[in-house]
Structure 1
Amino acid sequence: MGRRSRILFLSFTIVALVVTLILVAGCGTEESADLDPTKIAEYNKPGTVLVETVWTADVSFPELAIDYDALETAFINAVRDGTVSPDATTEEIATVLITELATFPELYLYATTEDRVTTMEASVYGSGFIVSDDGYVVTNAHIVKKSDEALAATMAEENAGELLQEDLAKFEEELGIDLPAEYEDYFLAAAADIYATYYTVSSPASDTSMYMVSVGDESISDAIPAEVVEVGDPMDIQEETGKDVAVLKVNKTNLPTVAMGDDKELMDGDQVLALGYPGTATFDYVLDINAELSPTLTQGTVSAKKTVSGGWEVIQSDAYTTNGSSGSPLLNMKGEAIGVNTFGAGDVNESTGEFEASPGFNFAIPATVINEFLNQANVEPAIGSLTDTYREAIDLYMDKHYSAAKEKFQEIHDANSDFPYVQDYIEQSSAKVSAGEDVSTFPAWIIIVIIVAGVILTGVIVLVVILVTRKGGKKGGTPPGAPVAATAVPAAAPSAPAPEAGPPAAETGGDAATTEMPKPEAPATEDSGAADAGGARFCSKCGNELDPGSAFCSKCGRQVNG
């Protein structure tokens, strides 16, 4: 292979390698690159679900009474210190007593020894995410498991309202008064504290259900019964390690899923997303309860990894979460769940006694711990085939390939008509196509075929050029006027110098190179030899004197014409 051929072949090889690397690198970049938060939300909304547990239990709590002796003592003290006039009218005395009772109800209300027993119901809801298309769900343990003390507090909180109103009406009747509205809250809060202290529960039972949102034409699906297959200890059980994770199982297939990720490489400063159903943004009274439910997306930064009392780590971030967010996925920027949002830091308000979260201090149990529970349940988390198709459809839709997206969404709908958001996207895609907003697209495999065909065609052209170049060089021989031919004769002349009588015979025809070189059409391997005036012949290649009648040069072997 000549120098030119080698250069062309090397060029072709480099082009082919570059194109191949571009294709491979392009595919790899698509897999590993961070995603836009909007796309992450759309990928994972179908697999992010609501989880609810309903408890029933027999609850015992005391009857409440007013300590009239203590109230009378307070009135006497008020008269002695001049706060109340000894000559006060009955109406004025009643006003003083009502004000004292309503302002400091905790001093005058007490629990009697007489108990009331009734069956009560309470519910707790939070978020969760599906990790396998055959129905395994991850959530927090405190959504599905309660200690008796925690359940009593939940029962008191959820049912106290009705009981307190009954008590308020009873005391107003006893006193013959109607408490002003501004005092009712004081009274109700004091009674609630007493109930929370004395509430006891027995024979608790619970039922856990999962709900998917935006299913078909419905805002929310019917309750899907869920079995608790693995559960840790809620963080509110102080004596336990508090690995607040639960794995549920629902009897469904072809479900949407959320991909599990790896928290080991997570670093401070990494961006994260929380996707769930916080109560304030899901069931707030100002929102239309008949409108379509949708999970809330918040974005934040990993602040640190902190070690809890059990000796394992949690992820701290400032991605905002609150009540209802518990059990929701904490996602990295590839859309993978690297934790389950669990609790927030805060302090108890001394005035109200209520826990107040501190914004920016939210904690998630990492995927490493979640995987412990999944392994115990023999669950292998994986993205379902319909979820893969759904993500392809989302990509097409966001790239305005509405017709192609509609086909993908329809394919999912045919396999599972209850797959969340699919019906909405089919309708939206149809509307976009009708509005003339669709952008046509080629399947990816066609684009790859075109690129590969272009590379092959380029290679063929290069090879043809190489062959033509080599063939032309063989047929043409040494072109007339080339320097090598012009110096061939003088190089051999010293062994047989030309006679002084005249110039060499070769010069009589003019230019030695044009008269002595073979014609272009003569074969490159044949040579008649160069002759001097005396009739001696010389090899035009090496200058050796040729033997008379010889057809080949005895020195270089070149063929010559006799």
Structure 2
Amino acid sequence: MMLNKTGRRIGWLLLWLGIVPEMAAQAVSAEQNYASNSPGVAMVQTVFSATVYVNKVVMNERRFEQLVDSVKRLDSSGEMLSAPAKLDLVVKALYNNPTRYFSATTEYYRQKHRIYASGTGFFVTGDGFLVTNCHIIDRDSQFVRRKFIQSTFQEVTEANIRSLENSWQMTLTDEQRMQLANAYSVIYSQVSSMIIFDLKREIYAQFRVDEDGKVVTRRMPAAVIIKGQPMPGKDVAILKVDSVQQMPTLELTRDSLVRIGEPVLVYGYPEPVTSNTYLARETSVEPSLTAGVVSAIKKSIGGWPVIQMDAVITHGSSGSPVCNNRGQVIGLATFGSIDQTASNLASGFNFSIPSFMIRQYLDSVEVQPAMSDATRSFNRGLDYFFRGFYNKALRRFEVVKKLNEHYPELGYYLQESRKRIDAGQDKESMNRKTMFRMLALLLVAGGVVVFYRWKSKK
């Protein structure tokens, strides 16, 4: 009991003096969690290129206008049916009888096209090994064909959408336009034949680096080291970015169990954010943070566990690290749930693959996940920074600069640490000044006591 009290007193004394001992991973704020983990998160982009031959498709404008007019007549007052309900009626009619409204001609398009599929990944070693979902890099032939069709017939699709908007005297939302574009791509594939030549695939990792105190984007090729299968398979892929050292990394948890109700933080690149036309382009590579809790532990149809969570994920979030409040990766964001009534993603019912499955893939190619020295120093610097020990934080950040001068956000924390030291906000200096003042007072008080005792003896 006495030893425990003594230990606590020594601990408090060390903290008071600004001597912060190294500690095991512990819960930190979401702000510190983001500062620590976001540098190691990357956007993963797969680029498919090919030469495409496809029949030209034309729309029977008279029949299409008749369809639109018939929908308008169902709601002559304009109050019974909402715009989404009207759009749904048009889309269903086009789906049910595409050849009534579209027909292929004998004329062929020949075009070179590039299409993109993007998601998220994160580095687990300082030399560039990166974890993501298999389905981001290994798209099936139907996806590739649909994307090429959308690209080829983009002008036709835009013309049809404008026709709808003019007829209904309204502007479709981005979601409605996307719904209509997807419908058209399915219809075009039914009425037109497509031949794809010289299909190529390139994979890139896009991540942030610090250049003279400013965060900029770097895009580098990535090679597939090993991959599983898209869901319902084990949807994991390990990529490698060459010619990098001391990259920002995330730590995989060694905990075998995840607790229901445990807070989770997800870092990723959701498409509604990265494609938002109102946001500056340079911000697209900044990961977005969503938060939630572990809702349940379910079993996939393949027999392995998946973590259900209510943190928001959507298109582009696939491959995102799902972290606990200690900053450790507990899962890989992989798939959501479909709302059967609305035929779109149901918010708050999302799933991630547990981290032990990531380790299985890393082990199979003899890759040992480990935090880089730069990340260890950066995280320790952040720990000091958020506690108010700016001198200690500065020394750690200066170590990071020697290891990797391009570490994301390093310039900001170097500048902020110096600024707060100059402003006299460093706790270590303040504590030591207080200590010296107290020692001085004790010496003075002791001197007074000694003086009076000496005087009383005379």
SS of the residue 2:371 aligns to = coil
Q: Structure 1 residues 412, 201: closer, same or farther in 2, change over 3 A? A: same
User: What letter matches 2:399 in structure 1?
Assistant: E
Counterpart in the other structure of 1:226 = 222
Cα separation, 2, equivalents of 1:168 and 1:344: 29
Separation of aligned partners in 2, 1:286 and 1:258: 31
Paired with 1:103 and 1:257, the residues of 2 have a C-alpha distance of 47
Amino acid at match of 1:211: Q
Matched, 1:140 2:122: no
> What is aligned with 1:273?
265
Going from structure 1 to structure 2, the CA distance change for 1:183 and 1:193 (only over 3 Å counts) comes to: farther
Aligned to 1:208: 203
- The structural deviation recorded for 1:19 is 3.2
Is the 1:219–1:291 contact (alpha carbons within 8 Å) kept by the matching residues of 2?
A: no
Letter aligned with residue 207 of structure 2: M
Q: Secondary structure at the match of 1:39?
A: helix
Alpha carbons of structure 1 residues 103 and 225: separation in structure 2 relative to 1, 3 Å: closer
Aligned to 2:36: 43
**d(CA) in 1 for partners of 2:60, 2:3:** 94
Task: Give the equivalent residue in structure 1 for 2:441.
Answer: none
CA distance in 1, matches of 2:186, 2:358: 36
The answer for the alignment partner of 2:6 in structure 1 is: 19
**25-34 vs 190-199, which moves further:** 25-34
The 3-state SS of whatever aligns with 2:294 is strand
Q: How does 1:81-160 map to 2 (within 5 A)?
A: 106=98, 107-112=100-105, 114-160=107-153
- 1:440 maps to amino acid: E
> What do the CA deviations read for 1:150-201 (whole angstroms, capped 9, x no partner)?
21123334554245347899x9xxxxxx978659979967643322444554
Q: Is the 8 A contact 1:263 1:339 kept in 2?
A: no
Structure 2 counterparts to residues 252-291 of structure 1, below 5 A: 252-262=244-254, 264-291=256-283
Q: Match of 1:358, SS?
A: strand
The structure with higher relative contact order (CA 8 Å, sep 6+) is 2
1:392 maps to: 380
Alignment of structure 1 residues 26-425 onto 2, 5 Å: 30-31=23-24, 33-66=26-59, 71=63, 106=98, 107-112=100-105, 114-165=107-158, 191-197=184-190, 198=192, 199=194, 201-216=196-211, 217-235=213-231, 241-251=232-242, 252-262=244-254, 264-291=256-283, 293-347=285-339, 355-425=343-413
| Cα distance between partner residues in 1 of 2:187 and 2:284 | 40
Letter in 2 for 1:269: G
Query: What amino acid is aligned across from residue 243 of structure 1 in structure 2?
Result: K
- How has the CA–CA distance of structure 1 residues 220 and 50 changed in structure 2, closer, same or farther, with 3 Å as cutoff? farther
Name the SS for the 2:398 alignment partner: helix
Aligned partners of 1:110 and 1:194 also within 8 Å: no
SS at match of 1:215: strand
Determine the structure 2 residue equivalent to 1:493.
none
* Whole-Å separation in 2 of the counterparts to 1:29 and 1:405: 13
Q: Cα 1:200–1:303, aligned 2, differ >3 Å: closer, same or farther?
A: farther
2:428 partner SS: coil
Deviations 1:471-501 (A, max 9, x none): xxxxxxxxxxxxxxxxxxxxxxxxxxxxxxx
Distance 1:183 1:117, change over 3 A: farther
After superposition, the CA RMSD in angstroms is: 3.8
Q: C-alpha separation between the residues in 1 aligned to 2:217 and 2:420?
A: 27
Contact 1:48 1:275 in 2 (8 A): yes
Could you say if the C-alpha distance between residues 210 and 257 of structure 1 is closer, same or farther in structure 2, counting changes exceeding 3 Å?
Answer: same
Q: CA, structure 1 residues 306+102, in 2 after alignment: closer, same or farther (shift >3 Å)?
A: closer
Query: Counterpart amino acid of 2:350?
Result: N
Letter in 1 for 2:334: T
Q: TM-score, normalised by structure 1?
A: 0.61
Shift of 1:130: 0.6
Greater fraction of residues in strand: 2
Structure 1 residue ranges without an equivalent (≥5): 1-13, 84-100, 172-177, 236-240, 448-562
Report the 3-state secondary structure (helix = DSSP H, G, I; strand = E; otherwise coil) of the residue aligned with 1:46.
helix
Deviation of the 1:47 alpha carbon:
1.0
Structure 2 unaligned spans of 5+: 15-19, 75-89, 436-458
Distance in 2 between residues matched to 1:179 and 1:242, nearest whole Å? 45
**Matched-pair identity in %:** 27
Q: Distance in 1 between matches of 2:390 and 2:418?
A: 7
Residue 200 to residue 306, structure 1, CA distance change in 2 (3 Å)? farther
Cα pair distance change 1:163/1:416, threshold 3 Å:
farther
CA distance in 1, matches of 2:246, 2:261: 36
Contact 2:215 2:409 in 1 (8 A): no
Measure how far apart 1:339 and its partner are: 0.8
Q: Is the CA contact (8 Å cut-off) linking 1:219 and 1:292 kept in structure 2?
A: no
* Alignment check: 8 A CA contact 2:52 2:196 kept: yes
Partner of 1:540: none
Contact 1:50 1:128 in 2 (8 A): yes
Q: Please give the TM-score of this superposition, normalised by the length of structure 2.
A: 0.74
Q: Tell me the secondary structure at the aligned position of residue 427 of structure 2.
A: coil
> Do the aligned residues in 2 keep the contact of 1:227 with 1:249 (CA within 8 Å)?
yes
The C-alpha deviation readout for 1:427-450, integer Å capped at 9, x for no partner, is 22222233333333599xxx9xxx
Q: How many residues align?
A: 392
1:33–1:103 distance in 2 versus 1, CA, 3 Å: closer
Instruction: Kindly indicate whether the alpha-carbon contact (under 8 Å) linking 2:150 and 2:181 is maintained by their aligned counterparts in 1.
Output: no
Counterpart residue type for residue 250 of structure 1: V
| CA radius of gyration, larger in | 1
